[in-house]
Structure formats: C-alpha cells, structure tokens
Amino acid sequence: MSQLFDLSLTRVRDLLRSGEVTAEAATAACLERIAATEPALDALLHVAGEAALDQARAMDASGPDASRPLWGVPVTVKDVLATEGLPTTCGSRILENFVPVYDAHCVSRLKEAGAIIIGKANMDEFAMGSSTENSAYKITKNPWDTARVPGGSSGGSAASVAAGQCFASIGTDTGGSIRQPASFCGIVGLKPGYGRVSRRGLVAYGSSLDQAGPMTRTVADAALVLKVIAGHDPKDSTSIDAPVPDYLEAIQGASLKGLRLGLPEQYWGEGLSAEVDAACRRAVDLAASLGAEIVPVSLPHTEYAIATYYILAMAEASSNLARFDGVRYGRRSTKSVDLATMYTRSRCEGFGEEVMRRIMLGTYVLSAGYYDAYYRKAAQVRRLIRQDFLNALGKCDLICGPACPTTAFAIGENTADPLQMYLTDIFTISLNLSGLPGMSLPVGLGRDTGMPVGLQLFAGNLQEAPLLAAAAVLEANLPAMPAPPIA
C-alpha cells in the first residue's frame, strides 16, 4: 500500500473501481508521501489531511462509483484556483486569510468526478514567475535536484506530481506556466486551447491568456483529467460551447503514420542548450521512424513574442489586481493614518516585488500617451503571431520544439535579473498569445545535468485529441522516465 503513489492515475482508478484499493488507502498513501517529501520540497501550501481522509472513508462506505471517472483519486490544485473551505492565497500575503465560499468550475468538475482534493500547490505570487521563487511563503524545490527550481508558476503542482504526492494536479498557464514546470520536473503538462476549460474561479492574472490544465505522469492520465474539466460553462463568457471528445478513446491505437510534424526554425537555433537540443532531436527522429513526416515551418514573429506578451500580460495584471486594495479584497494595513496611506501600505505589505513591478509596468503601458505606442501595437503583433501558427498548421498537423531552452536552473540563479528570467519562457509564450493548445512531454534526461527535458507539441484550435494521440505514441516508444531521486 505504501507504494501506491508510484502508480499512474489511470492504474489507480482501475484499482479503485475494482475494489482492490480503497479510497482511504489511496489517500493515506499520498498523505504519507507528502509527510515524507514536503520537508525537502515545499511543494504544497495547504494539506487537507483529516478532511481528505474523512471524505475518502465516506466514499468507501457507499462503494466505488464507475460513473465517476476519478472516484477516490487524490489530486492537488494550484493555489490560484478557488476551493470552498480551503485557503486560496495565490501565493500572496495579500490573500493569506482568504477562504472561498465556492469552488472554481474545474474544481467542481473534479469533485463531481469523484476526485479528492488533498492539497493546494505552491506557486509564484499571482502566477507571476517562472521558478516558484516568487511565492510569499516558500520556495519549492525540484524533486530531481533540490538545489534547482521546479519551474513556475505552477512549480508546486509539477513537483507534487513528480514526487508522488498526488496522482494529478491542476495548474494554470498564462505564458507557459504548465508546460515549463512540467518540462523541468519530467511530467506531462497540457495547456488546453483558450476557452476549452472554464476560467471561472481562477484568480485572474492575464484574462486573455490564463488557462487551467492537467499536470500528470502520463499522457493517458492527462487525457482522462482533461475530459473531466473541459466543457462549456454558461457562467464564463470566454468558455467555448463545443463538444468535448473522449480523449482517452482518442489515444487508443493512435499512430504517427502520415502525420506531418512541423519543426519551426526559430525554436531550434541560437540559445538552445546542447543537451536539450540532443534530447528533443532524438524524439523527433523517433517520430520520423514511426512514420511521421518532418516538415520545416516558420514562425517569423517569434522574436517579438516576449515583448508582446509582457506588455499585454502586465497591462491585464494591472487591471485585474486593482481589486486587491485592502477595501474590496485583501489584507488591510493596520498602520494607516488616512485613506491614501491605507491603500499604499496595504498593497506594499501584501504584494511582493515581482507583482508590484508588473503592476507598475502594466499601468505605464496603459497610460495616456503610451497606450498607442505600446499596448495597441502589442495587440496588433499578437494577431500576427497567431497568424504565424495558423499558417504553419496549414502545412503540417502538429508543431513541435523544445519546451524550454535549458533544463531546470539553480535556485537563485536568475532572481537578480528579471529579463533573464523572462527569457526562460521564450518557447512557451507564443502559444498563449495564439490561444491554441499545447503540451510538454518528457523525452529523457539531459546528458550534462541529468535533469528532465520536455518536448513541446502544438495543435490547431480545439485539436487537443490529436495532440494527445501523438504524444501517447511517442511516450509509448520512448525509454521510460526513471523516478526522481527524492526520498
């Protein structure tokens, strides 16, 4: 029973359905794993503990329910998603005492499917960061090497899945925050297309960019979780009203024969480390040997993606985070002598340095005299970036490239240089600007660092099914990833 945490979600689901494993046993195994690994990892901000065990016992009393696809499966959720009765802090001091009275839509879907929420995962404050070093509470470590970052902003989710603390986690991706930490921690991370999963209950950073998605150990696990959380939400005006395929069925018997796989020249050149390049090219060669046709494509506006993203994301952040002022939401300073001081001190005490930096930059690009020069121009370039993807996908079925230019970097390595930190997202940001789906698949360990390397796959609008199918074929033919060495 103590080794249950090693199993995939789909395997545990089958054991739970058959009655070979109880929900209480699965939950207890994850809680034991959390107790064993948390001192080294700091992946979670809140652990449900006894509440999760009580829920599991109640479920066991009524018996397995085959109509609920995640019945009895323990999962974690990034702390940016509202959870009824559990704190939702967004990794920020300004929300340290906030306990929602409702669930985010995707959390409700998980619960309806029978999942047990055992913890809230650490994150960069308000999802602003690429290393989980910007959390106001703790720095999460990578299970493969605790001197290195797990990526961000969903680093806590990635580390909790990789370390066996849960069988899946829900992360969010605004500029790569699912795919980059998935790559760094050697797991599968899927960013659905914008609108495929409702954003209701997801505390907003960049409203036109944010998207929740599954972080799992296998492609099949991701397919199962996506099926649960995807679908139209009439209470979210950005939610797409479109049928949701059976993603698990879509990956059964999949093949790469005849698949046109596009390699964008901008993702395979300068700035890419040798070990990442080698691991990803081995995966591309494998795809070719399995029948895929490798097609060169171009995404010519990629060089403008980081500037475009940070103008748009920070502008949206400055608007979204205006509500956290000590009056409408968030902690109120006790050191105030007048209204203006109360606003200033509440926000300075509650927000971290990176959040304040992005709010100020966002306010600047939206200000009179600069709106046209920066924000409007960035919105125009965003359309060009999306068109690049559509043009490329007119020549191929999927696009692939490295998820990150390097493997996980050392804790503290980039904290003094925000620009260098932003550049770690260079291969992920464009996809959020386009609104299309993408995922990171572990393809091996770097020959120099011994750290995980992720290959990124992109697909057309609402094409998560063929994306997962291709990833499943590659996964089945790649050498199995070893378990991380965390105790």
Share of the chain above pLDDT 70, in %: 99
- SS3 per residue for the chain: CCCHHHCCHHHHHHHHHHCCCCHHHHHHHHHHHHHHHHHHHCCEEEECCHHHHHHHHHHHHHCCCCCCCCCCCEEEEECCECCCCCCCCCCCHHHCCCCCCCCCHHHHHHHHCCCEEEEEECCCHHHCCCCCCCCCCCCCCECCECCECCCCCCHHHHHHHHCCCCCCEEEECCCCCCHHHHHHHCCEEEECCCCCCCCCCECCCCCCCCCEEEEECCHHHHHHHHHHHCCCCCCCCCCCCCCCCCHHHHHCCCCCCCCEEEEEHHHCCCCCCHHHHHHHHHHHHHHHHCCCEEEEECCCCHHHHHHHHHHHHHHHHHHHHHHECCCCECCCCCCCCCHHHHHHHHHHHHCCHHHHHHHHHHHHHHCCCCHHHHHHHHHHHHHHHHHHHHHHHCCCCEEEEECCCCCCCECCCCCCCHHHHHHCCCCCHHHHHHCCCEEEEEEEECCCCCCEEEEEEECCCCCHHHHHHHHHHHHHHCCCCCCCCCC
State yes or no: is 177 an active-site residue: yes
Q: What's the mean pLDDT when you consider all of the chain?
A: 96
Judge contact between 126 and 80, C-beta under 8 A. yes
More confident residue, 350 or 1: 350
At a CB cut-off of 8 Å and minimum separation 6, what does 167 contact? Answer: 5, 7, 8, 9, 12, 26, 30, 73, 74, 75, 161, 216, 217, 221
CA pair distance 186, 170, nearest whole angstrom? 16
Q: Would you say residue 58 has pLDDT above 50?
A: yes
CA pair distance 194, 208, nearest whole angstrom? 8
pLDDT band at 2 (very low <50, low <70, confident <90, very high): very low
At a CB cut-off of 8 Å and minimum separation 6, what does 399 contact? Answer: 261, 262, 263, 264, 297, 299, 389, 392, 393, 457, 458, 459
Which of 92, 135, 153, 154 is catalytic? The answer is 153
Judge contact between 153 and 182, C-beta under 8 A. no
Which of 177, 198, 318, 430 is catalytic? The answer is 177
How confident is the model over 399-425, as pLDDT tens digits?
999 999 999 999 999 888 887 788 788
Q: Which homologous superfamily is 4-256 in?
A: Amidase signature (AS) domain (3.90.1300.10)
State yes or no: is 62 an active-site residue: no
Give mean pLDDT, residues 140-148: 98
pLDDT band at 478 (very low <50, low <70, confident <90, very high): very high
At a CB cut-off of 8 Å and minimum separation 6, what does 243 contact? Answer: none
How confident is the model over 293-312, as pLDDT tens digits?
999 999 999 999 999 999 99
Backbone angles phi, psi at 321, to 5 degrees: -85, 0
CA pair distance 293, 279, nearest whole angstrom? 19
Q: Would you say residue 347 has pLDDT above 80?
A: yes
pLDDT of residue 418: 80
Q: Would you say residue 124 has pLDDT above 60?
A: yes
CB atoms within 10 A of CB 53: 17
CA pair distance 206, 80, nearest whole angstrom? 13
Q: Would you say residue 269 has pLDDT above 60?
A: yes
Which of 78, 111, 120, 141 is catalytic? The answer is 78
Of the listed ranges 191-200, 320-329, 398-407, 445-454, the one predicted with least confidence: 320-329
- Residue ranges of the domains in the chain? 4-256
Which residues on adjacent β-strands are paired with residue 398? 261
- How far does Cα 271 stand from its chain's mean position? 23
pLDDT of residue 487: 63
CA pair distance 344, 332, nearest whole angstrom? 10
pLDDT of residue 1: 41
How confident is the model over 356-396, as pLDDT tens digits?
999 999 999 999 889 999 999 999 999 999 999 999 999 99
Kindly report the CA angle at 464 between 461 and 465, in degrees rounded to 5? 125
Q: Would you say residue 235 has pLDDT above 70?
A: yes
pLDDT band at 46 (very low <50, low <70, confident <90, very high): very high
State yes or no: is 434 an active-site residue: no
Q: Label residue 344 exposed, middle or buried (CB < 10 Å: 0-12, 13-18, 19+).
A: middle
Kindly report the CA angle at 184 between 180 and 185, in degrees rounded to 5? 115
CA pair distance 5, 285, nearest whole angstrom? 33
pLDDT of residue 421: 84
CB atoms within 10 A of CB 353: 11
pLDDT of residue 15: 97
pLDDT of residue 67: 96
